[in-house]
Amino acid sequence: MQEWFDNIESHCLIIGEVAQAHDGSLGTAHAYIDAVAAAGVDVVKFQTHIAAAESTLSEPWRVKFSSQDATRYDYWKRMEFTEEQWHGLADHARERGLIFLSSPFSCEALELLERVGVPAWKVGAGEVSNLPLLERMALTGKPVILSSGMSDWPELDTAVNCVREHSNRVAVLQCTSTYPCPPEKLGLNVLSQLRERYKCRVGLSDHSGTIYAGLAAATLGAKIIEVHVSFSRKCFGPDVAASLTTSELKQLVEGVRFIERALDNPVDKGAMAESLSDMRSLFGKSIVAARDLNAGESLILNDIAYKKPGTGISAARFGEVINRRLKRAVAADTLLSEDDLE
């Protein structure tokens, strides 16, 4: 387990967050596992809701999107899977080479996921102040990944300290709990603040519904990127507008891996230029005769032009040839050489 968490340092962990995109359908949940595996992510993540353990009948709707469910409690109830079904989802994810995670929203859900066998805990933004749950997570010895979407600094400090009382294996994600999140609220600047404040791995839990935020975060050194995923923008559910489609998810993965390779291979500008000497000769400009020139003429600016290839006297040296006399006649468009000049 320690090796898995340590590998985040050299490899940005990309999480495909299914959440409730399955809309309570076990078959759809399994289909999402196949889809995110095909996109190339590292982790598939769900949310484990046990309505009676996390909600009251009076819980208000965030967005009243479902006419099928009379209350928010009814919706959470419909999102529940049995323990056997969670085992099946986890086994399927592992068969596809994915890390299986699910965010618990109650201690009962945590205990269920312990039996299923998750390798880490992902804390939803609304649970950061749930210190009893955080303490239970930390006591398992597994890494804890905190989303900071609704937390101010004091609350986040308390959450990180709670985890660190029992384990130092914590990561913190910048997150803004707005669905979808506009660019001016992403808070990409907070990544460096989190890294400096907590001296831990940091990342972005993104609700922008685009690949751009994740790519920017990867460039800024994020070690974890989490995005919601949906089969299509036409799908049903509260998070569709804040999700990537499966094809966009694949683009994000490819882009992040591209950026990682670039950041992992810093370039020595001088050495790179030297390695491109053949290209410099091909695309560079040389000094050529602008017209037919006679032997003995002293060159003036209008006598010369600058054309490819760059195998002659470089255009950068034009000042060195002005006022020099020609030893011999030179036809128009001929590259000048030192042998042509006195």
Nearest to 43 by CA among 124, 119, 99: 99
CB–CB of 137/170 below 8 Å?
no
CB–CB of 252/14 below 8 Å?
yes
Same domain, 297 and 228: no
Structural domain count, the chain = 2
- Walk along the chain (342 residues) and give the pLDDT tens digit of each residue: 456 677 676 789 999 999 999 989 999 999 999 999 999 999 999 999 999 898 887 777 777 767 777 787 888 898 899 999 999 999 999 999 999 999 999 999 999 999 999 999 999 999 999 999 999 999 999 999 999 989 999 999 999 999 999 988 999 999 999 999 999 999 999 999 999 999 999 999 999 999 999 999 999 999 999 999 999 998 888 889 999 999 999 999 999 999 999 999 999 999 998 899 899 889 999 999 999 999 999 999 999 999 999 999 999 999 999 999 999 999 999 999 999 999
Q: What is the pLDDT of residue 1?
A: 43
Q: What is the pLDDT of residue 75?
A: 86
Q: How far apart are CA 225 and CA 173, in angstroms?
A: 8
Q: How far apart are CA 322 and CA 299, in angstroms?
A: 5
pTM value > 0.75:
yes
304-307/286-289 β-pairing: antiparallel
Quickly count: other Cβ atoms within 10 Å of residue 136's Cβ.
17
CB–CB of 324/342 below 8 Å?
yes
**Structural domain ending residue among the three candidates 263, 287, 302:** 263
Q: How far apart are CA 326 and CA 299, in angstroms?
A: 8
CATH number where 303 lies: 3.90.1210.10
Same domain, 97 and 230: yes
Q: What angle do CA 108, 112, 117 make, to 5 degrees?
A: 145
Determine if the peptide bond prior to 180 is cis (ω within 30°).
yes
The structure tokens listed for 7 are 């590998």
Residue with tokens 């004091």: 154
CATH number where 71 lies: 3.20.20.70
Same domain, 108 and 245: yes
Q: What angle do CA 263, 265, 271 make, to 5 degrees?
A: 130
Residue 289: strand pairing partners: 304
Instruction: Read off the DSSP letter of residue 258.
Output: H
CA 234 to chain CA centroid, nearest Å: 24
Same domain, 119 and 207: yes
Q: How far apart are CA 229 and CA 214, in angstroms?
A: 13
Q: What is the pLDDT of residue 312?
A: 94
Same domain, 320 and 207: no
Q: How far apart are CA 202 and CA 172, in angstroms?
A: 5
Same domain, 249 and 274: no
Q: How far apart are CA 195 and CA 191, in angstroms?
A: 6
Same domain, 241 and 259: yes
Same domain, 219 and 285: no
**Structural domain ending residue among the three candidates 239, 263, 287:** 263
Same domain, 209 and 327: no
- Domain hosting 294: range is 270-340
Q: How far apart are CA 253 and CA 333, in angstroms?
A: 50
Q: How far apart are CA 312 and CA 288, in angstroms?
A: 8
Residue with tokens 């992403």: 186
